[in-house]
Structure 1
Amino acid sequence: MSRLIDRSFLTEAKKNKKDEFYTQRVDIDRELQYYEGQFKGRTVYCNTDHPKKSNFVRYFLDNFTRLGLRRLIATGYAVDGSNCGTYFSYTGNPDELVAWKNDELTLLQGNGDFRSDECVALLRESDIIVTNPPYSLLREFVGCIESFNKDFLIIATVNAITYKEIFRLIHAGKIWLGVGLGRDISGFIVPDHYELYGTEARLNDRGERIVSTNNSLWLTNLDSERRHQDIPLVKTYSANEADYPHYDNLDGINVNKTKDIPSDWFGLMGVPITFLHKHNPAQFEIVGFRKGNDGKDLRINGKAPYFRIIIRRREER
């Protein structure tokens, strides 16, 4: 039976800036396995993570030696009436771990906002940013990370693909989607005062409140083998032309599902935004997003389909 998806709490969260959505450890373990070889000798900064609440921090503490990390930094935004954010740094020193276990955290001078001078200074010292940033500040967050040319792996809403600031970087090949998408991300831990929105809201075996969006993805500039796997092309345009209508305002065809991309078409195609989850840059070129030759939304017989990524096949390899 298909599961109903209620994303109203995401809209509410954005409107009211309720951004306390903590990532579950199972989802972190599942995604980080694809990038493990890229952490050796490097400093990881979890810059929107309370050092004791964050499962990202716990993951890197548990795997610090195995990954060969040089340093782990975490800063969290001020909560619970405090005006100061929290700070934690770990270099493998046992005393640092004892302090963390005993809740002996350092307070920042400011509130721990990732844009603050304190946090930007720590950002400059780091190599890889790994976190679940506030969705309401996603554009600013990615812009900040990109301006300092840092590697990163973050969780974002699927709709982030449609943000012009994000798509510009995807189009330029500077960032791309990670492995987990939609239901591959099993849900987020929320504070007790949050309503349990949606039909899949639940309590887990530790009594934590979980909401499942089915509308999130990983966004990164860390490479993985999965990114270089071709999409199998099993359908053809020839003899199935009716399934691939041409746009009114673009010399190209519409493809409703990524799995239906035809193997014998090398012109422009409009595909769903989730195509990016399967995109191999050696197989397809990203040409544009959403607009036809007239600068208006793509149309078929006067009607606009949902957002489309415009792509073109690379030459046969």
Structure 2
Amino acid sequence: MANNSNLGAAKAAKNDEFYTQYADIQKEINAYLEYNPDTFRNKTVLLPCDDPEWSNFTRFFAQNFERLGLKRLISTSYAVESKKYKNYQPSLFETESPMFDIDKTRIKGKIFELTHDTNQNGRIDIDDLEWNYLEGDGDFRSKEVCKLRDEADIIVTNPPFSLFREFVTWIVDAGKQYLIIGNINATHYKDIFPLIRDNKMWLGSSYFNGGAAFFIADASLYDPSKMSNQKNAFFQNGQFLWRVNGVRWFTNLDHGRRHEPLRLMTMKDNLRYGKNKTLRERGYVHYDNYDAIDIPSIECIPSDYQGDMGVPDSILEKYCPEQFEIIGLGAGDLAKEIGITKNYRGRSDLAFTDPLTNKPSCPYSRILIRKKQ
């Protein structure tokens, strides 16, 4: 699992103000359009937990309103005081509006909507956004934002890091389609993994470079003395960028990469020609505490094995539901659900007796999969 010190620091500081870069949003959305050009057509898209004045999600969907064929775009933001800004400055977008009220801005969230060509210039884009204050502070759990959720077809956002689980529940309970950003560690959460197992959630189409994303963050967080690597946080074009490891898109929108099966070799060919040293030395080892074989790396998955296999988490990046089914997770309480109760060295994940040492060996927790017939 990803060692994410920057994400941990953000949670510890109770600072969830990490804005996604425009290019990352564009890359991901374009992948869905390539697979199905009508993915967003005639849909109402809600962008909660957003700051429309600053958010690139709002910019992207507003600027591409006509290309996407949207019916309605809604974006909501938290009130200033609820977010505890360190250096809040109202934008010109706010202050130049006759509705602007600094007292309301501090305690009330805002709603931005786009449905039609308000300025009658012949196109629908970001200049046609209309805004107003919400009754409450804009919390996505409030009744008025829940009402907007119920009116939406697709929910897209980078939710607060500290509220990811609760946010997913908020979406799933309403039966909505979604595209959100989270940390890869979430795939092991007991309330997230079942969604993945049951094909109600999967990873998005695009990867962030190097398995990490650079988010636009509050400049007050910049402290060179606390940065172990200066490349993880820096200023670029007047914006402070903060690198967060292990970031992925999570969605239930279909995309083409999800249906690309892995090209695999037989067990015999993997042992003879495979590049994985561990497999060549140990062979396919059977677990002591579950009826499955251990797969040290994705390329070692055999094409001709019909039983259960314990594979690394990276399978989720290449998972094709037509090729495999996910059985369960070999760690924690989720392991007990599939009958793994025998502990090794205080852990409840999969273990096997190492044929080289004849001692129980604990690999990292595995995802159990089975080849579809």
**The two structures share one fold, judged by TM-score above 0.5:** yes
1:24 aligns with 2:76: no
1:269 aligned partner: 309
1:40 aligned partner: 41
Aligned CA distance change for structure 1 residues 125 and 198 (closer, same or farther; 3 Å) = farther
Contact 1:9–1:198 at 8 Å: present in 2 too?
no
Superposed displacement of residue 207, structure 1: 1.6
- Structure 1 Cα separation of the partners of residues 265 and 295 of structure 2: 13
2:173 aligned partner: 147
Three-state SS of the structure 1 residue aligned to 2:326 is: strand
Q: Which TM-score applies when normalising by structure 1?
A: 0.90
Contact 2:61–2:73 at 8 Å: present in 1 too?
yes
Contact 1:237–1:263 at 8 Å: present in 2 too?
no
Superposed displacement of residue 86, structure 1: 1.7
Stretches of structure 1 that go unaligned for 5 or more consecutive residues are none
- Structure 1 Cα separation of the partners of residues 370 and 64 of structure 2: 41
2:111 aligned partner: 87
Aligned CA distance change for structure 1 residues 99 and 25 (closer, same or farther; 3 Å) = closer
1:307 aligned partner: 365
Three-state SS of the structure 2 residue aligned to 1:165 is: coil
Give the 5 Å matches for 1:163-202: 163-183=189-209, 186-195=213-222, 197=227, 199=229, 200-202=231-233
- Structure 1 Cα separation of the partners of residues 265 and 9 of structure 2: 41
Q: Which TM-score applies when normalising by structure 2?
A: 0.77
**Aligned pair partner of 1:289 in 288, 309, 329:** 329
- Structure 2 Cα separation of the partners of residues 100 and 41 of structure 1: 18
Superposed displacement of residue 99, structure 1: 11
Q: Deviations over 1:63-100 (max 9, x none)?
A: 10011100100001122472211210000233499997
Aligned amino acid, residue 85 of structure 1 = G
2:6 aligned partner: 9
Aligned amino acid, residue 112 of structure 1 = G
Stretches of structure 2 that go unaligned for 5 or more consecutive residues are 89-105, 272-278, 342-347, 354-359
Contact 2:64–2:125 at 8 Å: present in 1 too?
no
Superposed displacement of residue 136, structure 1: 1.1
Contact 1:76–1:112 at 8 Å: present in 2 too?
yes
Q: Deviations over 1:114-152 (max 9, x none)?
A: 111111011111110010001211111111101111000
- Structure 2 Cα separation of the partners of residues 223 and 239 of structure 1: 32
Aligned amino acid, residue 112 of structure 2 = F
Aligned length: 311
Moved more, 8-17 or 141-150: 8-17
- Structure 1 Cα separation of the partners of residues 178 and 5 of structure 2: 28
